[in-house]
Amino acid sequence: MSETLREALRAWYEEEGRRFVWRETQDPYQIWIAETFLQQTQIAQVEQRLLTFLARYPTLKALVEAEESEVLRLWQGLGYYQRVHNLLRAAQALWHQGGWASIAKSADPLKALLTLPGIGPYTARAILSFAGWGAYLPVDGNVARILSRLWGDPTPLSQRHYYQKKADALPESWRQPWVAFALMDLARLVCLPRRPRCKICPLHAECQAFHSGKPTQFPAPRLTKTKPIQQWIFLIYATSEAVWLERRPAKGLWGGLWCLPSERPAQPLPSPPVFRHAFSHFQLWGYIKSLPAPLPSTNPVAWSELERYALPAPIRRLLQRLAFSPSSFTAELFRP
């Protein structure tokens, strides 16, 4: 990875790179929030939501004082709700230990950040690098793909720590925020997983995968496993005015969100589900069953008030689809 290559990358980034608000700041709080939003989520999907969130909670203090239900509401639809719980727990912990100054003053800021809930090796390095507190190249899956190809190294992306360790050993001139931003943009626009656009890539002169003639063979594919299916029955009691929802426990799937109560069938259901939803580790097949009376764990939520509640995206879609009227609760919808 020569200096010539780095200059080619810089020229490309200046011409083609994106200028996001969160790339223009050195405020560690804003960087942390942005990186948390961007985990497992497409930029296009979150950009406006992130700006809304930062306008509502512009500082660590504002987040520390936030109502969890309000934060969840701003987050709804983005999935991975554990991120919200971790964000709030980390905000509290950081606040009580003296805020960002305590990280800046720490003998080992990387280690100090890694003790906070939800902050892993990538996010910790991103915060320190982008805030100007350390020279790191944070490696996410996209950056790891480029490094794998550049170095002609087939190590699968599941070995993220391997790529991060190698990135930590790069010369300091490669461990700069703009390099990380450039590689992230390059991964999104040029070094695509299945169809890398090597001819227009600023790195092709030194890219081992390109010179091998088979760039997509790097990195080696993960072994794909079929996701197991979990069948869930959602229990619905509703009138023309309201639907009865319960708040899910703070920990676990859809933690802290409002939801229809649910149960797992004693035996596998043979019929197709009313809806399917993919999680990272399993597929949820959702069924619905009508109740003659509300469960004690539930509270009535007026149909007109649903927007104010943080609901899992598939449950919101299901309720919108039902758009309650007694006639819409057809036998076809109620399986089993």
- Residues lying near ligand SF4 in the complex (CB under 6 A): 146, 149-150, 190-191, 196-198, 201, 203-204, 207, 209-210, 215
Return the number of the residue (137 or 260) whose C-beta is nearest ligand SF4: 137
> Taking the complex as a whole, how short is the minimal distance between the CB of residue 130 and ligand SF4, in angstroms?
23
| Residues paired with residue 232 on neighbouring β-strands, in sequence order | 286
Do the beta carbons of residue 245 and residue 305 sit within 8 Å?
Answer: no
| Residue 143 to residues 61, 181, 274, 275, 313, Cα–Cα distance (Å) | 32, 10, 38, 34, 29
Catalytic residue among 35, 172, 206, 246: 35
Residue 302 parent element (H or E): strand 299-302
What's the token pair of residue 319?
A: 């309720």
| Residue 185 to residues 1, 5, 11, 322, 330, Cα–Cα distance (Å) | 18, 16, 13, 41, 48
CA atoms of 4 and 17, how far apart (whole Å): 19
Phi–psi pair at 265, nearest 5 degrees: -65, 145
**The CA-based dihedral angle spanning residues 168, 172, 177, 183, taken in that order and rounded to the nearest 10 degrees:** -70
User: Is 35 tagged catalytic?
Assistant: yes
What's the token pair of residue 233?
A: 């029955």
> Taking the complex as a whole, how short is the minimal distance between the CB of residue 9 and ligand SF4, in angstroms?
10
State the angle between helix axes of 28-38 and 43-56 in degrees (0 to 180), rounded to the nearest 10.
Answer: 140
Residue 285 parent element (H or E): strand 283-290
Nearest to 60 by CA among 27, 36, 37: 27
> Taking the complex as a whole, how short is the minimal distance between the CB of residue 204 and ligand SF4, in angstroms?
4
Nearest to 169 by CA among 155, 182, 151: 151
Find all residues with CB under 8 Å of 78, minimum gap 6, and list them.
37, 41, 45, 46, 49
CA atoms of 50 and 35, how far apart (whole Å): 10
Active site residues: 35
